[in-house]
Homo-oligomer: A and B are copies of this chain.
Amino acid sequence: MSAAAPADDDAQLREETLVSEQAYRGAFLDVRRDQIRLPDGGTAQREYIVHPGAVMIVPLLDDGRLVIERQWRYPLARVMTEFPAGKLEAGEPPLHCAIRELIEETGYRATEWARAGILHNAIAYSNEGIEVWFARGLTLGERQLDVGEFLEVDSASLDELQQMARRGELTDAKTLIGMHWLENWRTGRWTLDWHAVP
């Protein structure tokens, strides 16, 4: 592949905003509808969700297993197996969100954290980015689920999760990517920069 092109080189692909309007504002979803200018000067419309961003935590137990959750996902009408995750509150630093969500949903606190990266999960119609954080040095306390939040906490080895993925029983995109990062870290190909968090 050719080296990453500088931003100026993307003029032949770039779309410019002409008008942006609120198409729908619900309690949860913020939908925009923009008129845009295409690279060839033509115009088109883009509809998309404005999202505050989210974090996912890959929680490593001392015995090498991972903390996972089972949660009903209403749009899919089924229980999904996932790593813990949650949305950023307004102005919240991602690590703060990761620490908060891990305690709230699972009861675990970690002594060390490392930011692996970010993923973009629905680039055709959402600006959501999910930061991927690893946590270790876990100790279990009380979880503090939000009102109306129901989920089960379990643990699994990476190999068990890989088997589930291969069989089509684990299909959550962020969780699959967390597994990929974990595998690359464990084999030494990718590094993680761990920080103690008091």
Given contacts A46-B75, A176-B180, contact A13 B118 (CB under 8 A): no
Contacts of A29 in B (CB 8 A): 23, 31, 47-49, 125
Q: How large is the interface on A (under 10, 10 to 19, 20 to 34, 35 or more residues)?
A: 35 or more
Let me know if A72 and B15 touch, CB within 8 A: yes
Let me know if B122 and A154 touch, CB within 8 A: no
Bound-state CA distance A164–B49 (Å) is 26
Let me know if A47 and B76 touch, CB within 8 A: no
Contact flags A139-168 to B (C-beta < 8 A → 1, else 0): 000000000101110111100111011101
Contacts of A180 in B (CB 8 A): 176-177, 179-180
A1-B157, A29-B125 known; 4 new pairs, CB 8 Å cut-off, are: A13-B70, A73-B124, A117-B168, A117-B171
